[in-house]
Amino acid sequence: MEEIMTQMIKVVKSRYPYGETVERIKEKTKELGWSVIGEHDLAEKIGVKLTIIEVCNKDFARKALEKPENRWISAFMPCHFSVVENPDGVYVYCMNMGLFAKMAPPELGEVLSEVSKVDEEIVSSIL
């Protein structure tokens, strides 16, 4: 079970400080034509330096949700990037949409494959 969980989540160590990592993710998201629709700084509430950034692209979302039988994917929307400061550095966690694409019906899988490519570009901004 643990192996499946580690495959479902991508973990990337940022080469930038915490605040700059958050800003770079937001900037790259906008640069790629996506929207930052939420940002949750949870540090004060939970005692861990953690910001969750929610991003979405209305065109991809519309395609993904077009067929009623594919609307289960809405449980994973919008896309999230969690920026966390750990003792050994700043990390970004996000869903492995490429893996979801392989498990989804073909037409939904195509959309998720495209989302996965965008996620990779966003994450590349902190490498």
The whole-number average pLDDT for the span 54-72 is 96
Domain around 42? 2-124
Q: Which CATH number characterizes residue 69's domain? A: 3.30.310.70
118 or 6: which leads in pLDDT: 118
DSSP 35-91: EEEEEEE-HHHHSS-EEEEEEE-HHHHHHHHSSGGGGGGGGG-SEEEEEEEETTEEE
Average confidence score pLDDT of the chain: 95
pTM of the predicted model, to two decimals? 0.92
The per-residue pLDDT for range 50-61, each reduced to its tens digit, is 999 999 999 999
Question: What total of structural domains would you count in the chain?
Answer: 1
